[in-house]
Amino acid sequence: MTDPKLKEYTDRCARAEKETEKLAASLQALTDGNLASTENVETVDKEFLDLLNENRKLKYRIGILKKNIEQQRKSAGAMCDLNIKNSCNVLGQLESVFLRAIQSAYPGATNPVTQIQVSKHADYQCNAAMALAKSLKKNPREVGESILKSVPPSPLIAKMDLSGPGFINITISQDFIRQQVTNIVLNGVTPPPTTSLRVVVDFSSPNIAKEMHVGHLRSTIIGDSISRLMEFLGHDVLRINHLGDWGTQFGMLIAHLQDRFPDFASNTPPIADLQTFYKESKKRFDEDEEFKKRAYQAVVKLQAHEPIHLKGWQQICDISKQEFSKVYERLGVKLVDRGESFYQSRMESVVKMLQNSGMLEEDEGRKVMFADGADIPLTIVKSDGGFTYDTSDMACMRQRIDEEKADWLVYVTDAGQAQHFKSLFLCATKAGIYNPSKTRVDHVQFGVVLGEDKKKFKTRSGDTVRLVDLLNEGLQRSEEKLKEKDRDKALTPEEFTKARDAVAYGCIKYADLSHDRSRDYVFSFDRMLDFRGNTAAYLLYALTRIRSIARTACVSRKDIVAEAQKYPVELEHEKEWKLARTLLKLPDVLIKITEDLYLHSLCEYLFEVSAVFTEFYDNCYCVEKNSEGKIVKINFNRLILCEATAAVMEKCFAILGIETVEKM
């Protein structure tokens, strides 16, 4: 691979070398022979120094260009691999191409920004010239021309042109688009190339002996979707369910267990309703001083790992986990349970480390930790010597970085914990537990779920909505909605059940994920089950319609793949090209989400794909029939485009944790 700039600079450097040699000889002759005045010597000397300086600059540019050419070789090879193994994040690849062009044209530019965006005049536009011209104090159009001339060859780019004050319009290669769409059909939706990381995602986190309620909904859904995205991108993901399974309340529960079921150690107690059991023990704890005293004694014995108390604690935990697992199974969520009990010895180690390093301060009997920038300190040890959530979270972070070897920690909790996590991250940095330059840490915070009265979502009696009740109501309403549309008559019982479940759980998830997670959102079954607009009900139905096109033509997926194997899909109509370009946006959407962890971007993209497909379908016949309804022509290129669209939509749904169905 050659570069015209490299040849130009090499030639100029060679000429400068010769001129330097001549001037050096002249300067020496003038000085030795005293053949001219001092003024002549100074003139030659100045020319000599200017040439030396120019020569030094040219050599530096040659070095930069050689490095760029080597990068281009590697990039070109990587791009060839992308056509086979990975999807191509077009925006990211263009940014890489134009960054090299800027560095080639202006080697002295520091931290140049490529500024690539979607354009109305072409496929994309590079706006880097304006900002660069300002810093270089040059004309932006001239800068744009220099960048344009320095763009290396790329299989992505068909043509470029300069417009306005320095905008570079970029048209993507049609051959590249055709090949990428065909690859979706042949290889499925593959992830863009990424460096695999060890990622720990902490989400859901209910408390033992308490039922999951609507407050756990957002953390569970958002955390699961983030985990699915990371897994699709090839990261090594550990999904942690940080359970509240330790503390004072367990003394209360164990004491109540001993009274209600004295033989619990040998016979598993029949506690069907753990929530009622918890309320009974809490009532006794609040009203009976003798019981409260026994509860505190039970806590001490539990923390001392007394076998009978550990047995009772384990039974209570097991019953809770069984109930949690039923909810997770319905939602299709997988987690690794790891309670606070897991970190007990690690908490002791953290406290000792902080104490020895002089980072703990006494505060009315407590031991607290301050850090610059933290508005509130962490309470590491309570006045009674016990540990807190702060202690547990410090031990968690240390364990996940040191033992799990995590490159990236993600905490999915409500926005009310923002202050706590700010202090945690700052204190962990101060303690040397967490190094921001080595480990990425994100607090993925979210707003609360509101009822249709715009107040915190509760039952009519004012109680917190149980998650099981919410899911059951979703199933009931989904069934009613599908029956309104006579789907129970068009589908087999098995197909109807699958459609009902997909719509119910999918709508609940999509309603959450399609909103900006940092804001509160109104929970409305009527809205989320609407078969119009940006809802899971509409999008799931749209997907089944796409899938039905090939079935109507009696064409199998195997037939479509066989056609795609012959040659890249042919695209002619403008709506075909628009749909193809839209399908190619997915990798960039996914990469963007890894940067900000806002999943509503994927929902917006999914809705865009559906809308663009509708435009395509309304303007381009996939299957042509005569007046008698008999098929007279099957356009396989358009069926290939339908198959690619369905595959992209299904992958989006999979990342969102939503099951799809063939018929609805």
pLDDT tens-digit readout, 648-664: 999 999 999 999 999 98
Residues 147, 150, 151: CA angle, nearest 5 degrees: 90
User: pLDDT exceeding 70 applies to what percent of the chain?
Assistant: 87
**pLDDT-based confidence at residue 50 (cuts at 50, 70, 90):** low
Least confident of 35-39, 73-77, 126-130, 277-281: 73-77
What are the φ/ψ torsions at residue 375 (nearest 5 degrees)?
-75, -30
Give the pLDDT confidence score for residue 462 in this predicted structure: 75
Give the pLDDT confidence score for residue 83 in this predicted structure: 46
pLDDT tens-digit readout, 345-391: 999 999 999 999 999 999 999 999 999 999 999 999 999 888 999 99
Q: What's the whole-model pTM score?
A: 0.85
**pLDDT-based confidence at residue 3 (cuts at 50, 70, 90):** very low
pLDDT tens-digit readout, 166-178: 999 999 999 999 9
Taking CA atoms, 295 is separated from 252, 288, 302, 448, in Å, by 5, 10, 10, 34
pLDDT tens-digit readout, 576-624: 999 999 999 999 999 999 999 999 999 999 999 999 999 999 999 999 9
Taking CA atoms, 431 is separated from 269, 342, 366, 394, 427, in Å, by 45, 21, 19, 10, 6
Higher pLDDT, 31 or 328: 328
Structure token pair of residue 261: 């079921």
Q: What is the mean pLDDT of residues 280-309?
A: 92
**pLDDT-based confidence at residue 327 (cuts at 50, 70, 90):** very high
pLDDT tens-digit readout, 454-493: 888 887 777 788 999 999 999 999 999 999 999 999 999 9
Eight-state DSSP code of residue 567:
S
C-beta of residue 404 within 8 angstroms of C-beta of residue 197: no
Q: How many CA atoms lie within 13 A of 270 on its CB side?
A: 0
* Residue bearing tokens 């069984």: 322
Q: How many CA atoms lie within 13 A of 369 on its CB side?
A: 29
Give the pLDDT confidence score for residue 265 in this predicted structure: 84
Give the pLDDT confidence score for residue 74 in this predicted structure: 45
408 by DSSP, 3-state: which?
Answer: strand
Give the pLDDT confidence score for residue 120 in this predicted structure: 85
Whether 552 shows a pLDDT value over 60: the answer reads: yes
Q: Identify any residues that bridge with 414 across adjacent strands, giving them in sequence order.
A: 446
Whether 45 shows a pLDDT value over 50: the answer reads: yes
451 by DSSP, 3-state: which?
Answer: coil
**pLDDT-based confidence at residue 52 (cuts at 50, 70, 90):** low
Q: Identify any residues that bridge with 182 across adjacent strands, giving them in sequence order.
A: none
C-beta of residue 444 within 8 angstroms of C-beta of residue 597: yes
Q: What is the mean pLDDT of residues 30-51?
A: 54
